[in-house]
Amino acid sequence: MHWQCSENSLIQGRLSPLSTPNTIQVNPLQREQHSSGGSMEQDDLIQQFLTRSILVRNLSHNTVAAYSRDIIQAADFLGDIKSADSAALGEWVHHLSRLGRSSSTISRKLSSIRAFFSFLVDEGILDNNPADGIPSPAGEERMPHSLSVDRITRLIEAWTGENALSCRNRALLEMAYGSGLRESELVSLTLDRINLQDRWVRPLGKGQRERMVPVGKYAAEWTGIYLDRWRGELASVHSGSTVFLTRSGKPLSRMTVWNIVRNSAHRAGLDCRVHPHSLRHSFATHLLEGGADLRVVQELLGHSDIRTTEIYTGVSRKMLSLAVERFHPRGKGQW
């Protein structure tokens, strides 16, 4: 996929796909349209960094698109990024904070700039990474948004499988909640990566890392029904071996998955905010609440760092606190 980043698309967070694979283009005119802009050489360096991020580091296009936006927006403030030192980067971080950016957003942007500087060091353009000395802002850790078991059940059972699309949606939601797959893993899932007899799936996660994940009973049953009865009705020359298909037989996009989840929530009468990651969050939270080991949940989710998984323990601790307040004889009542 070839991505062209125009000035407006970068500012608004949108990218337009073109045809040439494995490169990301930065619009060279953008640098001339900002008083703080850098040089054509800087645009070329950004281009090289983004391309290497895909070809060498196997990062997803979504991650690289975020890199592109973050780096070019930083250049609007810093000017010549190569000349920026720790003091200038500190001012940039304070600028983002004054704009009201959240701690998580600032941390992500700082991570993007840090990765770009590491590339410049690797290329011999800089001697050291000035972003290494900039601490990520401390902020309140945002808890994952998970649903109760009752709401998950209502969401999934909004589809009864009476036709191809209804059965596909039911199987998709069962797989998302029953195995904790990311939406990117769901849309890229292929027939050779599913073993419904032994109830295993082998998704390709971030960085093209493969893992083995057990498939829940209901997920296996509904995916089997979809594959046996309905997938052939949707399949076309565009399908390949992709499991979940659109009405026209093409692989689902991530946006289509979002629409399916939103439509499911509407059909189920849920008044809360629901998105595809809600099912993955609920998968992890319900496992921990049921007594699963944190390391096991880390493996199931495909987290390379257990600190990413540990955020779910905060959700479970909250449930434990509520249980004590509600059921313990000396935990009830008002202060």
Catalytic residues: 182, 206, 277, 280, 303, 312
Measure the CA–CA gap between 278 and 170, rounded to whole angstroms: 16
Residues β-bridged to residue 3: 17, 24
Tokens of 232: 């052939």
d(CA 116, CA 102): 21
Collapsed DSSP state (helix, strand, coil) of residue 271? coil
In whole angstroms, give the CA distance from residue 303 to residue 180: 12
Q: Mention every residue, 6+ apart, whose C-beta is less than 8 A from residue 296.
A: 287
* Amino acid found at 87: A
CB 178 within 8 A of CB 215: yes
Could you tell me if 156 and 174 are in contact, meaning their C-beta atoms sit under 8 angstroms apart?
A: yes
Other C-beta atoms closer than 10 Å to the C-beta of 308 total 12
How far is the C-alpha of 107 from the C-alpha of 291, rounded, in Å?
Answer: 32
What is the DSSP secondary structure assignment for residue 226, as one 8-state letter? I
Structural contact between residues 45 and 125, judged by C-beta atoms closer than 8 angstroms: yes
Angle between helix 306-327 and 276-289 (nearest 10): 60
Nearest CA to 234 out of 175, 218, 242, 220 is that of 242
CB neighbour list of residue 38: distance below 8 Å, 6 or more residues apart: 31, 75, 79, 80, 81
Q: Which helix (H) or strand (E) holds 12?
A: helix 7-12
